[in-house]
Chains A and B, each alone.
Chain A
């Protein structure tokens, strides 16, 4: 019987689960399809004004670092589950890892390879500042050498001789007692709602764009001309609570209100409006925060139906103000679409490999509502947003809860 465990997905929930298991003495394999762990939350931004607004983003880097140095956790990046056999207490998992041309354990992130890379854009990418592991990544599709040309510039300059073009995809078989699925979510693609102009107008942004802008730049400037925003609109429930998404994404109202507050804090003269259906303001301390926000943020019940660019570069928003029973047009200079949490498109593949069920909305199905970690397969558990929408603290809690279920299995196996 195996006492080690497998966590699929290195987002917040997966990381929380891996840490909890490893701290309890289990040897954990944490596999991640991307070159670095952290998932979406690692690229999010702190939304504090002069005080913390409890977005929980700052708890992520610490957890990632703990995972990175934990003696009981092996991180396999660029990897995916290719097959499964065996059963509870004795799973055999086949893991496929993309070629590690630059193995993270050999890369010291000096960056000399990227400097000499002759392609444009570079075939070697520097890691994002919060990447764990912090190592350079080779893009197969751009690398001259991998395209068959002769170029050894990066390999020759690498001071640790880390780069090896002969790396092949690697198949690994892991024996584990329990499996935690924490593959996370996909952000709803706002292009699907063409009438709102995302992708067409530079100043129509999504919540995710805002996260990245604030994370990188620290301040919001108009993407079109770099000026301070004067009139900002947030549109809620983009990709939530509609025909094809029969659920509330749970995070958008909160992040929108926090962003609204942050923009107002940085630009006291900016006018900020939030368009909504039902505002979700439950949660520890949030009601008071919302009350504060009502003082200088306008809340309008009713969702815009159309966003059009004006000749002066502003955005005309047509919306119905339900509370007033009127249809209006108003111009804004930024429209932020509060995109929601969607199930991963490739969930089906993993579901088939592992033999677990998908629910109606496309998230993995929990066996019983009171234990949303359990799947129809014994020994395989769900953590985080792959099971349904959750914010960061709820994802961490769910990850720990999955770890607890897995721990029970491992204890029985002992």
Chain B
């Protein structure tokens, strides 16, 4: 039995979401401390197995956060991640995990507030587990 660790794993693109997270810290916007940010060069780097392993470790939720569509420095990284997230949700459904526990979000470097909102939202959603 996998022990739930109640953590939210956020894979953050270092060109956008990671900067937004830094900004949130600098603005002292306090958000739930159960989030664990993993820096990736582009959210398109995140593979299905990374998502699944996070759940295997007992994560409460997984977030893929990248740039807005049309603003990916690698053109297709974020749209691929979006498709991948949709596919991964199917895989999760197959194993009986609530699909809402995986989400893809788009955040620009200056969107500290929206970043915080994403984290709070996911924390809220995964609380009832």
Contact = CB atoms under 8 A, between A and B. Distances in A.
Nearest to A42: B110
A251 B68 CA distance: 22
B111 interface: yes
Contact of B23 (A51, A52, A54, A129): A129
A218 B113 contact: yes
B16 A50 contact: no
B110 A58 contact: yes
A52 B70 contact: yes
A44 B22 CA distance: 17
A217 interface: yes
Contact of A58 (B16, B112, B117): B16
Interface string A119-134: 0000000000110001
A321 interface: no
Contacts, number: 55
A62 B14 CA distance: 10
Interface residues of B, number: 21
B27 A52 contact: no
Given A62-B15, A130-B23, A57 B69 contact: no
B12 to A, nearest CB: 14
Given A50-B106, A61-B19, A129-B26, A218 B111 contact: yes
A134 B19 CA distance: 14
B9 to A, nearest CB: 23
B122 interface: no
A48 interface: yes
Q: Dominant SS at the A interface? A: loop
B41 interface: no
Nearest to A49: B68
A57 B71 CA distance: 11
A129 B71 contact: no
A286 interface: no
A218 B112 contact: yes
B70 A46 contact: no
Interface string B93-129: 0000000000000101111111001000000000000
A45 interface: yes
Contacts of B69: 50-52
A261 B28 CA distance: 29
A181 B70 CA distance: 33
Nearest to A47: B108
Nearest to B113: A218
A46 B26 contact: no
A281 interface: no
Contact of A129 (B70, B106, B108, B112): B112
Contacts of B108: 46, 48, 57-58
A46 B15 contact: no
Contacts of B109: 46, 58, 61
A46 B110 contact: yes
11 contacts: A46-B111, A48-B68, A52-B69, A54-B71, A57-B110, A61-B19, A61-B110, A130-B23, A215-B110, A216-B27, A216-B113
Given A51-B70, A129-B26, A218-B113, 17 more contacts: A46-B68, A46-B108, A50-B68, A50-B69, A50-B106, A52-B67, A52-B69, A54-B71, A58-B15, A58-B67, A58-B108, A129-B27, A134-B26, A218-B112, A218-B114, A218-B117, A219-B113
Interface of A: 44-46, 48, 50-52, 54, 57-58, 61-62, 129-130, 134, 215-219
Q: Lowest 4 A-B CB distances belong to which pairs?
A: A218-B113, A46-B108, A52-B71, A52-B70
